Amino acid sequence: MRKIFTDFPICGTFELSADDAHHVVVVLRHTVGDTLNVTDCTGATYECFITRMEGHSAYLTPARKLSDGPSANGKVILAAGLLKGDKFDWVVQKATELGVGRIVPVQMEHCVVKLDDKRRQARLGRWQRLALEAAKQCGRDDVPEVAPVMSFTELVDAYADTRFIIPYEQETAPLSEACHDVRTGDAVIAIGPEGGYAEKEIAYATQHLAWCRTVSLGPRILRAETASLAALSIIMYERGFK
């Protein structure tokens, strides 16, 4: 079944959310005594058994701890330019499945999509829900945070001390040359939008970041959403998908 998460630490008997209870009771038809794996807000996962059911409500009690949470290997942060339509939704879902630690939507100069504050908040709520559902589906022990929309300069300033890998269409050095340096610790993969990077954005990154590598993803022109998942897949593979 899909993963179950709580937004509180598991310390004793607790009630499932209405959505999870519906899935457990109505869809999967679990009953008292059945066991489920549940991850709490600290990232710890417990084997829990159903102790009581009332209508469509379900109460669980932890039996044993299965894991203490994600490893301290560091996070891979995907910072991606905003995309048209539902393409960014797809990036959020698939990046979550691949194990991304955080997703940062970035309003870049060549983004076709321009979001005002109201639409940014609405999209942020949607993207976080998509990340939660994708984490449940793929069985992750944590849910990646979707950060508020930033400009590119805000992104660089916020993560100035983090290693950056920037796939760039004018670069020839392959991504493989930078992989060894980001096998552990925090790292940002920064992907441009449909219109690509503005030259001044690349210049700002190289001038203000402590560690930055512009790389090539090969001879073919990739769509922005393809580039996001191609780069992320390669980096996550090098890190053992941790």
Q: Given a cut of 90, is residue 86 above it in pLDDT?
A: yes
pLDDT in tens, 205-225: 999 999 999 999 999 999 999
Q: Provide the whole-model pTM.
A: 0.89
- The residue ranking higher by pLDDT, 63 or 43, is 63
pLDDT at 47 over 90: yes
**Of the ranges 2-6, 153-157, 237-241, which one carries the lowest mean pLDDT score?**
2-6
Q: What's the pLDDT score for residue 1?
A: 60
Q: Are 139 and 223 in contact (CB under 8 A)?
A: no
Across 19-42, average pLDDT? 93
Query: 50 pLDDT exceeds 70?
Result: yes
Q: Which phi and psi angles does 240 have, rounded to 5°?
A: 70, 25
**How far is the C-alpha of 165 from the C-alpha of 173, rounded, in Å?**
12
The DSSP string of 109-127 is TT-S----HHHHHHHHHHH
Q: What is the mean pLDDT of residues 187-203?
A: 97
Say which CATH topology domain 76-238 has.
Alpha/beta knot (3.40.1280)
pLDDT category at 70 given cuts 50, 70, 90 is low
Please check whether residue 114 is in contact with residue 107, taking contact to mean a CB–CB distance below 8 angstroms. yes
3-class SS of residue 66: strand
Homologous superfamily of 4-67: Hypothetical PUA domain-like; domain 1 (2.40.240.20)
Q: CATH 2.40.240.20 occupies which residues in the chain? A: 4-67
Predicted confidence band of residue 68 (pLDDT cuts 50, 70, 90): confident
Q: 100-132: per-residue pLDDT in tens?
A: 999 999 999 999 999 999 999 999 999 999 999
Tell me what pLDDT residue 71 has.
Answer: 64
Output the pLDDT for position 67.
87
Whether the predicted pLDDT of 227 surpasses 80? yes
Q: Give buried/exposed letters for 143-180 (b at 16+ CB in 10 A, else e).
A: bbebbebbebeebbeebeebbbbbbbeeeeeebeebbe
What pLDDT shows up at residue 239? 93
Residue 201 clears pLDDT 70, i.e. is over it = yes
Task: List CB contacts of 40: < 8 A, sequence separation 6 or more.
Answer: 5, 6, 8, 9, 10, 46
Residue 83 identity (one-letter amino acid):
L
Strand 35-39 to 150-151 pairing: unpaired
In the chain, CATH 3.40.1280.10 covers 76-238
* pLDDT greater than 80 at residue 11: yes
